[in-house]
Every structure is written in C-alpha cells, then in structure tokens.
C-alpha cells in the first residue's frame, strides 16, 4: 500500500490534511461532537468489558480502536438510510440513537436484540459472518423497487467476512442490480486469530473492481476521513450510481471478544504501533491545537463519560431475568410441533425444581 492510496484528513499527529476528492471544511462537521461520540462509546465499551469480567455479561465484543470508523461513517448516515451491523458496531448503534443499555441486554442474554430495526433504521446484530451483506443488498434492491431515491443502505462487516461466499454473492448482486448499498469493511486486521494475510492476497478495497464497482481505502482511525468518504458513497448510492466498497483500515486493539486471549497469537509490538494511531487522541490534539476546544471541554466530556458508565452499570444490574419458558415465545410466529414438544419437556424439567421455588 502506498500512502496515496490511503484517504486521510487527520493524521495520527493531529495534523489536518485536504484531499482533492474528499473536500471537507471544518465548518461542515461538528468535530467536538465526533470527539464526544467516540469518547462516550469507548466508555460504554470499557464498562461492558468490566461488567463481563464481573460476571454480569455473558460475552462482549469490543470496539476498542474502531471508534473513528464507526462514528465517522455512522454520523454520515441520513435519517432515512438503513444500517446493517455485524456484532461490534456499538458506535453505529450510538449514532442511530440506540441506548447502550439495549446492547447490554443482548450481551447479558436477557433479550433477543430488544430493538425494532425499522424504527431505529438499524438492523439486528448478526453473528453469522457476512450474512448481513446479503440482507443489506436485498433491502437495497427493495428500496430501488419502491422508487425511494432518498434512501441508501450501509452494511458493516469485517476483513474475515470477505472470505465468506455470502459477501462475494452480495457484491455481485449489488453490482449487477446497481443496488444503493455501501459496503463498509472494517479491516481491523484480525479475524479472531487469523491475520489479514490469511484472508486475502490483494488489498481488500481492490476486490470491488473485480465486481464492477468502486472501492476505496480510508484511514479507519481518522474520523473525518471516514465521515467524508462515507457521506460521498451514500450520496452516490442515493443518486443511482450503485454500490461501492469502503475499506476502513484500522486495528482491533482488544481481544476478539472477552472469551479470547490475543496474547496467544499476536505480538505486543504490533499493538504498541497502533496505540500511536489512536482515533480519539488525534482529534483531541487537533481540537486543542486549533483552539476549537479548551481543557474545560475535555473535562466535561470525561465527566459525562463517567456518568454514562455508572448509568449502564446500574441498568445492567437491575435488568430482570426473563422467565425461562419465554425463550420459546420468540422462535416462530405460530405454533410448531417440534418446538411445542421441546417446550413441554423443558416445562417438566423446570417443574422438577418446583419444591426449590424455581420459576417458569
């Protein structure tokens, strides 16, 4: 990769750059707001990791290091656009106005994704790698057939997902039907313990040309570049120019999930290199140096983050456990013979504890 291939508007040192194809004036963007978003979602993330460590959550997929990719692209969405996440898009969820408590509910295992995707314009988390690219493409083709030219779709997936057939199928369908969908690949360089080299022989953004649509690589730790590039891609999709691929080049700073131990497969120096490219720190440096924010602003955001952390913790601990049998209520819309039999069996099992006061 040459530097000219990487779209960047804010360097790791906090230096502001211009890009001929992605003009973005500071007045067009609420940079203090982006700083606030990134700081708060990072706090949600660290709080959730602590909650998992204390046995309050079953698992958590950390977004650490990917805040700029998610907030930059998430804030580029227009209200009518539809987003399809994978499972670590907590920053995009934030931009869609989803309370972090909803994500906590899911990872605590007390709800089956407790939000309405249509209302939030944010689809359910998808664990099956790459599946959501097909859902998004189908949705985009639906928009197209409805004649809605003020809506676009964005779909998030990882570098590892590009090894799935579903993603290639989605690329091809989107291209052939000129579907209004932006493929947003957060290349965090790891698919659990498999490195990038095990996923691809070409830079991922170059895959797009083989399917017949444009692909770009953006500095995924640069919130301004992610914002500018995504805004333009969504606009092109709405205008009927079809799909595009954005490869946000970033790094998964934490473990794959709280059940993973990355020290078993990657070297510490790699992490140290990426720490210097932190997505939040460069915005802080630029805001302070350009006089757009003073220490009072940063202190206020920090205090707000503490309050949010406390709020989530309290909400998490207060979440009621669902009745065990309610699990069966959400599998099918109607009754189903096999499921009914399983329900009966489980009810009988629970009843065997009745003397000890177990609830159904």
Ligand X SMILES: Cc1ncc(C[n+]2csc(CCOP(=O)(O)OP(=O)(O)O)c2C)c(N)n1
- The residues that touch Mg ion, with contacts defined as CB under 5 A, are 158-160, 188, 191
> How near is the Cβ of 127 to ligand X at its closest, in Å?
5
The answer to whether 93 touches 117, Cβ cutoff 8 Å, is no
Q: Is 160 in the site for ligand X (CB under 6 A)?
A: yes
Which of 15, 16, 19, 14 has the alpha carbon at shortest distance from 4? 19
128's contact among ligand X, Mg ion, none, with CB below 5 to 8 A by partner kind, is ligand X
> How near is the Cβ of 125 to Mg ion at its closest, in Å?
16
> How near is the Cβ of 158 to ligand X at its closest, in Å?
2
Q: Is 252 in the site for ligand X (CB under 6 A)?
A: yes
Q: Is 128 in the site for ligand X (CB under 6 A)?
A: yes
How far is residue 302 CA from its own chain's centroid?
23
Q: State the Cα–Cα distance between residues 72 and 118, nearest whole angstrom.
A: 22
Using Cβ positions, the residue closest to Mg ion within the complex turns out to be 158
> How near is the Cβ of 277 to ligand X at its closest, in Å?
17
Q: Which residue has the tokens 């987003």?
A: 83
Choose one: 19-27, 42-50, 75-83, 121-129; the region binding ligand X (CB under 6 A): 121-129
Q: Which residues pair with 247 in a beta bridge?
A: 185, 217
Q: Name the strand (E) or helix (H) holding 158.
A: strand 153-158
The answer to whether 350 touches 327, Cβ cutoff 8 Å, is no
8's contact among ligand X, Mg ion, none, with CB below 5 to 8 A by partner kind, is none
> How near is the Cβ of 322 to ligand X at its closest, in Å?
24
Residues numbered 169-198 forming contacts with ligand X, rule: CB under 6 A: 188, 190-192
> How near is the Cβ of 6 to ligand X at its closest, in Å?
19
Choose one: 41-49, 108-116, 153-161, 167-175; the region binding ligand X (CB under 6 A): 153-161
Compute the Cα dihedral for 267, 256, 104, 71 and give only its sign: positive
With contacts defined by CB under 6 A, how many residues of the chain interact with ligand X? 14
- Quick one: tokens of 67? 């805040």
DSSP-based helix, strand, coil % in the chain, nearest 5: 50, 10, 40
Q: Which residues pair with 191 in a beta bridge?
A: 194
Residues that bind ligand X (CB under 6 A): 88, 127-129, 158-161, 188, 190-192, 252, 256
């Amino acid at each position: 990769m040459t530097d000219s291939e990487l779209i960047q508007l804010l360097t790791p040192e906090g230096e502001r750059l211009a890009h001929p194809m992605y003009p973005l004036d500071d007045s067009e963007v609420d940079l203090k707001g982006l700083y606030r978003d990134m700081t708060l979602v990072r706090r949600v993330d660290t709080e959730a990791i602590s909650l998992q460590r204390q046995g309050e959550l079953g698992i958590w997929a950390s977004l650490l290091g990917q805040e700029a990719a998610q907030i930059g692209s998430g804030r580029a969405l227009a209200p009518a656009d539809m987003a399809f996440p994978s499972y670590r898009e907590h920053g995009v969820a934030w931009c869609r106005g989803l309370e972090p408590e909803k994500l906590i509910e899911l990872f605590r295992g007390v709800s089956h994704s407790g939000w309405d995707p249509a209302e939030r314009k944010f689809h359910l988390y998808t664990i099956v790698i790459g599946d959501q690219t097909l859902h998004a493409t189908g949705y985009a083709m639906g928009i197209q057939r409805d004649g809605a030219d003020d809506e676009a779709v964005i779909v998030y997936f990882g570098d590892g997902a590009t090894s799935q057939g579903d993603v290639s199928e989605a690329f091809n369908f989107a291209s052939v039907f000129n579907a209004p969908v932006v493929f947003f690949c957060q290349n965090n360089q790891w698919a659990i313990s498999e490195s990038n080299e095990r996923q691809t022989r070409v830079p991922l953004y170059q895959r797009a040309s083989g399917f017949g649509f444009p692909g770009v690589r953006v500095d995924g730790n640069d919130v301004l570049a992610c914002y500018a590039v995504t805004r333009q891609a969504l606009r092109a999709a709405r205008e009927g120019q079809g799909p595009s691929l954005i490869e946000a080049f970033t790094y998964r700073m934490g473990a794959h999930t709280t059940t993973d131990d990355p020290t078993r497969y990657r070297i510490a120096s790699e992490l140290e290199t990426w720490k210097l490219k932190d997505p939040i720190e460069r915005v802080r440096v630029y805001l302070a140096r350009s006089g757009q924010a003073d220490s009072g602003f940063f202190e206020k955001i920090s205090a707000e983050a503490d309050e949010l952390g406390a709020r989530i913790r309290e909400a998490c601990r207060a979440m009621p456990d669902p009745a065990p049998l309610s699990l069966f209520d959400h599998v099918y819309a109607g009754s189903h013979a096999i499921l009914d039999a399983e329900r009966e069996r489980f009810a009988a099992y629970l009843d065997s504890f009745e003397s000890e006061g177990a609830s159904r």
